């Protein structure tokens, strides 16, 4: 998966570690945003799946990043941006 220059800068500015990016790809829920991209985020279900895979202690230690999300282009699959949710994601 390729990253846009913007996404790389935002990941660094927001302090999102590469492990969280990998977990978003592996366990995150995916939702179409209606503007040509998908949003990957952690849901209760995906957090439970991570706990099954890695144990509850490591997942709890990284709970500060459970509000992370990333936006991926549906055209070429590149990461547009990555960040922390401050508001609820409204699903359609």
pLDDT at 92: 56
CA distances from 62 to 1, 56, 80 (A): 23, 10, 23
pLDDT digits (tens, 9 = 90+) for 31-86: 998 888 999 999 999 999 999 999 999 999 988 889 999 999 998 888 999 988 77
User: For residues 4 and 46, what is the distance between their CA atoms, to the nearest angstrom?
Assistant: 26
For tokens 């935002």, the residue is: 10
User: For residues 28 and 66, what is the distance between their CA atoms, to the nearest angstrom?
Assistant: 10
> pTM for the complete prediction?
0.83
pLDDT at 38: 93
pLDDT digits (tens, 9 = 90+) for 31-44: 998 888 999 999 99
For 28, counting Cβ atoms within 10 Å of its Cβ (0-12 exposed, 13-18 middle, 19+ buried), the class is buried
């Amino acid at each position: 998966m390729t990253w846009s220059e913007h996404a790389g800068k935002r990941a660094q500015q927001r302090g999102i570690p590469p492990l969280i990016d990998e977990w978003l790809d592996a366990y995150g829920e995916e939702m179409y945003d209606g503007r040509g991209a998908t949003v990957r985020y952690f849901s209760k279900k995906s957090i439970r799946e991570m706990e099954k895979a890695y144990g509850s202690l490591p997942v709890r230690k990284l709970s500060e990043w459970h509000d992370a999300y990333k936006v991926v282009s549906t055209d070429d699959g590149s990461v547009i941006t990555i960040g922390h949710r401050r508001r609820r994601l409204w699903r359609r």
